[in-house]
Amino acid sequence: MRKHLPTLMVIILLSLPVSVGARSLVNVSLGFGATYSPQEDQAFDLGLQDPDNWLIGGEISARLAFIQAQAMVLPIECGEASGVLMLGMGSLSIPAIGSLVAVEVGGGVGVTYVPSSSDSSRSYYELANGTQADASQKSFTDAVLASPMYLQVGLGSELGPIGVKIRYLMESQATLGSVMSDNAWWSVFALKKQSLSLALALKMF
């Protein structure tokens, strides 16, 4: 097997430009979609008919060759308050069938923010351990470090200016801060909750 490894690597490297050439080098798109996010104590396939398990949100994504970055915003309920989940993800977008289908694998951080409202003048971040931190006392950077990390695996398709993406999102028990302080990157694979996202996107350029 080791004898054939260099040859296999050369074949893969030579085939990559062909795959890239089948789709645009740069893609910046805006989109919206639905995310199915059941409760932690609920079987993944048993809450599909519960409207409370569905989130409608928007996203912006940018891709340069294989490297992709995306930001998603999802309105969520935090107890009796309404907030937003802001997901920032980085991923690899690897063509599988020319420009028709690409495999997307990556990860990022999700920050939950609850703004002030008519019922409460307090705005806060809901962190990975479930605690609430006043936005006036905790910076956004500190909130990012204390918020849960996410992993994603998905498929994307570009049909002219229209893109379709389906992703499996996995919330980790680890935070960016804990991974950096403990130098234990494998802790990100201790998963806590799963979601399924389907989005339509319009290519801007």
Residue 16: which H helix or E strand, with range? helix 5-21
Provide the 10 A C-beta neighbour count for residue 64. Answer: 12
Closest CA to 126 of 110, 102, 104: 110
pLDDT of residue 80: 77
Residue ranges for the chain with pLDDT beneath 50: 1-2, 5, 8-21
Quote the pTM value: 0.81
Residue 62 CB burial class (10 angstroms; 0-12, 13-18, ≥19): middle
Which tens digit of pLDDT belongs to each residue from 5-39?
455 444 444 444 444 445 788 899 999 999 998 87
Place of tokens 């990100």: 188
pLDDT of residue 112: 93
Torsions phi, psi for 86 (to 5 deg): -105, 115
Residue 114: which H helix or E strand, with range? strand 101-114
Q: Which CATH class is domain 24-203?
A: mainly beta
pLDDT of residue 32: 92
Write down the domain spans for the chain: 24-203
pLDDT of residue 64: 92
pLDDT of residue 7: 55
